Amino acid sequence: MADGFSARQLLQAIKPRWSLEGFRDFSLIAVGALLQALALRLFLVPTNLVSGGVSGLAQIINHFSGFPIGLMVLLGNVPLFLLGWRHLGGLRFASRTAFAVVSFSLCTDVLVNFLPPTGLTSDLVLNTLYGGVVSGIGYGLVYRGRGTSGGSDILARILNHWRGISISQSYLITDSLVILLAGLSFSWENALYALVILYISGIAAEAVTQGANVVRTVLVVTSNPEKVTQIILKDMERGVTLMQARGGFTGEERTVLYCVVSRSEIPQIKALVREADPRAFMVIGQAYEALGEGFLPLDHKV
């Protein structure tokens, strides 16, 4: 088999690993796939709204042919998966993506028998908002389970590897084509709402993936590092790292303080630094996650 993998190795990688961590990942993926299917059946399909990707294309075809959406999603992902599984971050990651695609496809075609065909409301705005949020939460759970939802995710990686197109541009190309088809098939008003769905689902997915553990990094350039350090250590009980630097314009030696705090502590550290050294220079940035003393444990599982 290509790349030195035997058929037995591939089957072993695809087979779920029923460790606690593996069970957690596959459970998150299953719940995420269910939420994506609910969003599709309750909010998107009844009002002809699409969210891009293979599922959006399948929805358009279903509108004219009646062919099951879930089955089309599964069939549409098979060639993409065969072409792109080597670019999915390893066999274990690819197995989670395969599980996500199969789960979503099954849920999509099964739920049609239990949910009202007209959805919960005919209001396009409400369907756009709730469809985007619910599907975004589903995507986020799949990502937390270290998988992808197939379709655009796989195609974006293929385009990135094959043509060197960035992942973000690949998403833009693939989803824009589907939304263009939706505009031609349904209406341009629906296509405009579909763009809003993509934006909302992206925000929701990011929020679920990152959680509430977004922290702030603080760099302080000061001529009084001892006083600033002590006031942060004493009043905030946060660690401080001191780094020696030299000004590019003045050539003067300065001490740069590095500190990580929570969002709610930003006003406090700004006030403390201003009190200790009114002439200090501060840069406040955003970090994805902080692991270690004072924050999440280093072995924290995403």
Domain ranges of the chain: 2-210, 215-287
pLDDT digits (tens, 9 = 90+) for 46-75: 999 998 888 999 999 999 998 999 999 999
pLDDT at 47: 93
CATH topology of domain 215-287: Alpha-Beta Plaits (3.30.70)
Distance of CA 236 to the CA centre of its chain: 32
pLDDT for 1 equals 44
Report the pLDDT value the prediction gives residue 300, as an integer from 0 to 100. 56
286: which strand partners?
216
Instruction: Give alpha helix (H) positions in 85-224.
Output: 91-111, 124-144, 152-163, 167-185, 188-210
Give the dihedral of Cα atoms 76, 81, 82, 85; nearest 10 deg.
Answer: 170
- For residues 220 and 273, is the Cβ–Cβ distance under 8 A? yes
Neighbours of 187 (CB within 10 A): 12
pTM across the whole model: 0.70
Residue 19 gets which letter from DSSP?
A: S
Low-confidence ranges of the chain (pLDDT < 50): 1-5, 10, 13-14, 16-17
Q: Phi and psi (nearest 5°) for 283?
A: -125, 125
pLDDT value of residue 131: 95
Over the range 259-293, which residues count as b (16 or more CB within 10 Å of their CB) and which as e?
bbbbeebeeebeebbeebbeebeeeeeeeeebeee
Q: CB atoms < 10 A from the CB of 218, how many? A: 21
